[in-house]
Chain A
């Protein structure tokens, strides 16, 4: 029964949803062994260890430091690497988030151990960790065999659905071999996005708009639709971010964000291959486009042929109604 480490990502003192996904994925790999979580944050974060226990962390290794109000790549990587090498950890799971993509390969390199990133499935075959991950802009799934342990993986946000499974969650203090004050790389500021805005990676529902919304102002219709869902975020195509209608960080696709929400609603989006690369793994896809030949309809589960400016407000009222009953 192997012990598995899960890195519990936080930002500004709050645990992120991907942390619970990492713990859930770690639990599956532990198959009865213990899940150890690592939680690094500003003073006060230790109080949140219980949240990790709820998802199955038997032990939570906590490091509090004022510098952890921002991400501190070198210090956290050193601490995680030391913990992995000092304990009987067979595998470590990170989120393939902006932070995890930075952190996990650093830890792998320090430990000289294999890493598979952006993993959507993982299992043991004896001592070998076998992991599936998308490549070639999502068009090919590679099955990777990690032939040494400890093995590291980062899991694609949304690929492992967080499930509760309460455990003891005994807190232990995590030593910091590198004081963040002595790190060479310093995160000087975390610039919060619009507070009201749910992030694309966290959202279960994404409403995305393209040039078919006609002008920047009409994205308000999508904001309202997203609000009607309640747990939704608004994304965009590159055509739209290039024109400055939406910030670059909202871009979904080959060169933007890769997302897999439960529901993806594409409004006025043609379905260019580079856009599909970022969202084709969504569980359910809805397309609204006035051209019935638009390629987006080929990947959509449900389509409505029509004018976005007419269909979206109608959809917003219908969703509001439906959620009232729910």
Chain B
């Protein structure tokens, strides 16, 4: 099975972000970067499928400036076989533009299975996978929390609000991965050494049309400082009174 995994390099999220002087982006100075969470799950899923089958190829693809090479190397050190960088000065705000560029590479690769994360942690569009599937005209399952491709088809489960659904389609297919399938492995020392020799090919990204731009980025208003109304069960009457009269939620 030939598997592609699209991975995005995003900042680590456990910080207080600053807005860049441009006013429409996050200030990246001093931030640490890594593979977007769900993309890590997708990479792990791909590697596990290959390990189980004993044959096949896992190709990781990232669109962005040269800094994405570090993220691609990480995926290689986890066990992916080769990497492609779709080189662009910046990642566009319009998911369509990204999807078109990824589709060019994916179409050429004739993959059996194309994996994505459910969403990128920074842009959070949850759109690129569905769009790529439309462009390639292949079936698509988004946000799979279980995935079985052993029968040469896709059998997946999707979590709904308070329910779930089971979905089937044939291969080749696009599948985006939710949490719950696989936790990404830590690259072993051997993996890291091996990754240095694996192919990583940069190519210019053929970005698609941009019809959506990010005009501004802002920090959400701080929550007004709350207060501790008291200790133990004795504080409950005060709390309920506040919920009724002040917050008006009772």
Contact = CB atoms under 8 A, between A and B. Distances in A.
A108 B131 contact: yes
Interface of A: 11, 70-71, 73-74, 97-99, 101-102, 104-106, 108-110, 112-118, 130, 133-148, 184-194, 197-202, 204-205, 233, 248-249, 251, 254-257, 262-263, 273-274, 277, 280-281, 283-287, 292, 297-307, 310-311, 313-315, 318-319, 322-323, 326
B243 A263 contact: yes
Given A188-B167, A273-B14, A297 B240 contact: no
Nearest to A280: B223
Secondary structure class of chain B's binding surface, majority of residues: mixed
Secondary structure class of chain A's binding surface, majority of residues: mixed
A97 B161 contact: yes
A98 B159 contact: yes
A318 B241 CA distance: 10
Contact of A140 (B134, B135, B219, B233): B219
A193 to B, nearest CB: 4
Interface string B39-62: 000000000000000000000000
A234 to B, nearest CB: 11
Contacts of B11: 136
Interface residues of B, number: 81
Interface in B115-158: 121-127, 130-131, 133-135, 139-143, 145, 158
Given A117-B124, A139-B13, A300-B226, 14 more contacts: A109-B134, A117-B127, A130-B215, A188-B167, A189-B166, A202-B161, A248-B159, A281-B220, A284-B247, A297-B226, A302-B227, A302-B239, A304-B229, A305-B232
A204 B226 CA distance: 21
A277 to B, nearest CB: 7
A271 to B, nearest CB: 12
A143 B215 CA distance: 6
A143 B214 contact: yes
17 contacts: A108-B96, A109-B133, A114-B96, A134-B220, A135-B123, A135-B124, A187-B167, A190-B163, A193-B162, A277-B13, A285-B226, A298-B226, A302-B243, A303-B226, A304-B228, A304-B236, A322-B240
A249 B145 CA distance: 10
Nearest to B160: A98
Interface of B: 11, 13-14, 16-17, 19, 24, 26, 37-38, 93-96, 99, 121-127, 130-131, 133-135, 139-143, 145, 158-170, 179-180, 209, 211-220, 223-233, 235-237, 239-240, 242-244, 247, 249-250
Contact of A105 (B16, B131, B228): B131
A101 B230 contact: no
B115 to A, nearest CB: 16
Given A137-B121, A141-B218, A142-B216, A306 B233 contact: yes
Nearest to A296: B226
A133 B124 contact: yes
Nearest 7 Cβ contacts at the A-B interface: A199-B162, A109-B134, A314-B233, A105-B127, A105-B130, A306-B232, A199-B161
A113 B211 contact: yes
A194 to B, nearest CB: 8
Contacts of B130: 102, 105-106, 109
A186 B168 contact: yes
B18 to A, nearest CB: 10
Contacts of B122: 135-136
B22 to A, nearest CB: 13
Given A97-B161, A142-B217, A102 B142 contact: yes
Contacts of B163: 11, 190-193, 199
A307 B231 CA distance: 9
A101 to B, nearest CB: 5
Contact of A110 (B134, B141, B224, B227): B134
Nearest to A307: B232
A108 B166 CA distance: 24
